[in-house]
Amino acid sequence: MTGWLEGYVALVTGGGSGIGRAVADRFVSEGASVTIVGRNHDRLAEAVKACPDPSRMHAVEADVRSSEQLHQAVGATVDRFGKLDTLVANAGIWDYQRQLSWKRPSTSCSPSTSRATSWPPRQRGGSWSRPAAAS
């Protein structure tokens, strides 16, 4: 490989398998040091063992749905490698199109709330967007 990532440090979520593991391996092959994050300890350990240079790959068991665990993963990366240059947010979460948080529209008919709104957003034309309020 070319070594064009020599000296860089990356954190790859979902790095224990699939695309995340392939990205992490390629980053290491190109000279980077990498922390892989995932929920399955055995998969993470296998990824480190099979890595082109296991000394430059660090595994952190964490769930990307937990902000606290993500903060700990960043801290572990900086503790191990001294910095963090790149985040590859590879881990996917399917939430059945639920919003993380939203407020139910008001049911009062005061002038300030009489505009038609739709929330949570609905899919239109293949993309997700919040419909504009009627004026």
What does the pLDDT read at residue 12?
98
Residue range 5-12: average pLDDT? 97
78 burial type by CB count under 10 A (0-12 exposed, 13-18 middle, 19+ buried) = middle
Q: Which has the higher per-residue pLDDT, 120 or 58?
A: 58
Would you kindly state where each structural domain of the chain is located, as residue ranges? 9-88
Q: What is the pTM of this model?
A: 0.69
Token pair belonging to 9: 């440090």
What does the pLDDT read at residue 9?
98
Q: Give the single-character DSSP code of 56.
A: G
Token pair belonging to 33: 């040091």
Tell me if 25 sits within 8 A of 52, measured CB to CB. Answer: yes
Q: Which has the higher per-residue pLDDT, 51 or 95?
A: 51
Tell me if 17 sits within 8 A of 24, measured CB to CB. Answer: no
**Residue 115: is its pLDDT beyond 50?**
no
- Homologous superfamily (CATH) of 9-88 is NAD(P)-binding Rossmann-like Domain (3.40.50.720)
Closest CA to 90 of 27, 1, 7, 3: 27
Task: Tell me the DSSP string of 72-87.
Answer: HHHHHHHHHHS---EE
Residue range 10-21: average pLDDT? 96
